[in-house]
Amino acid sequence: MPGPGRWRAERDDIALRFRPLTERDLADAPGWLGEIDLRADRWRDESTRSVVAQGEDGAILAAGIVWTSHAHDDRYWADVVVDPARRRARIGTAMFRHLSGLRARDLPFMTRGYVDDPRLAFAFALGARTIQVVPPARIELVRRTALRPLPGIAPGTEVPMSAIEDANASFYQWIHASWSPVSPEFVAAVNAGLKDDLDLASTAVAVDGQGRPRAVALVYGDTDPPVVCAETVRPDEPDGERLVEGCLRAALDALAERGLAEVEFDGHVTDPHLLPNWAKLAPSGRWFLLVEVPPAR
């Protein structure tokens, strides 16, 4: 395992010195460090690490960061940035090797990006495999008539917030179960700030005879354009595809009535009741991948 100290990038024989990233580095940082989100080393705990790599003259040539998510504990997220003037000299690879040695637990890494993004080319060069695919996500609201309305859909304003939170946690858990299982404390993480972030008037909920949510289309109004997440509350919901269709149509109608022109979907190709409805809306944009990267040994 590479420890602190010198490390030689494989190409051009660049001597690198690794040290923890500090608040001072963030304040004095060259602009290119801002290409990724960075925080000072150990900002939360031993699972949140960040470092810089300096060249022989002391100049920062790269930074790297690893962290675990609150909602999942199966992989570390990782990100690396290299001085644009020094790219393709294996400095990024050397940084990744160093980050592999900073993991407090022997978990693989994950990262994400658009299919044609250099960040994914870099991840695949490190041995990545795809664990999830996100289709093009931009939806024009004029397309919404491809989905059929359904009676019995309530706006989020008519459903108790606690029921919306329970529905959110429930569907989040099952849609991730097969490829990125949730952590024991995921409920607090996925519901944090939900009340403030949701546009409850546009959010749509399919309820049963007792008023319990069976499917939801949650509209996050804190972004431009708004983001829509939709699925059934339980994986085995009968008529799940039709319920999600009705929720989506109601949510998109509500947004269109307010004069909006487009939204973005947030979901995965493995979301069984969402994907067929998503496909009917003729989405545009770029395909997006989540990938697992094996640590350097």
Ligand X SMILES: CC(C)(COP(=O)(O)OP(=O)(O)OC[C@H]1O[C@@H](n2cnc3c(N)ncnc32)[C@H](O)[C@@H]1OP(=O)(O)O)[C@@H](O)C(=O)NCCC(=O)NCCS
Rule CB under 6 A: say whether 129 interacts with ligand X. no
Scanning 88-96, 99-107, 202-210, 237-245 for contacts with ligand X by CB under 6 A, the matching segment is: 88-96
Terminal Cα-to-Cα distance of the chain (whole angstroms): 7
Rule CB under 6 A: say whether 204 interacts with ligand X. no
Characterize the bridge pairing of strands 153-155 and 204-207.
antiparallel
Rule CB under 6 A: say whether 112 interacts with ligand X. no
**Residue of closest CB approach to ligand X:** 92
* One of 1, 59, 121, 188 touching ligand X (CB under 6 A): 121
Rule CB under 6 A: say whether 63 interacts with ligand X. no
- Provide the minimum distance between the beta carbon of 223 and ligand X in the complex, in angstroms, as a whole number: 21
Which are the contacts of 40, defined by CB distance < 8 A and separation ≥ 6? 20, 21, 22, 23, 25, 26, 50
Q: Cβ distance 247 to 206 under 8 Å? A: yes
* One of 6, 44, 88, 195 touching ligand X (CB under 6 A): 88
Number of H helices, E strands in the chain: 8, 14
Scanning 116-124, 132-140, 157-165, 182-190 for contacts with ligand X by CB under 6 A, the matching segment is: 116-124
Q: Which DSSP symbol is given to 73?
A: -
CA nearest neighbour of 35 among 80, 86, 2, 5: 80
Of 9 and 254, which CB lies nearer to ligand X in the complex structure?
A: 9
Q: At residue 164, what are phi and psi to the nearest 5 degrees?
A: -65, -40
The site for ligand X, by CB under 6 A, has a size of 20
Of 118 and 294, which CB lies nearer to ligand X in the complex structure?
A: 118
Strand order of the β-sheet with 227-232 is: 138-140, 262-265, 227-232, 213-220, 204-207, 153-155
Rule CB under 6 A: say whether 35 interacts with ligand X. yes
* One of 119, 143, 212, 242 touching ligand X (CB under 6 A): 119
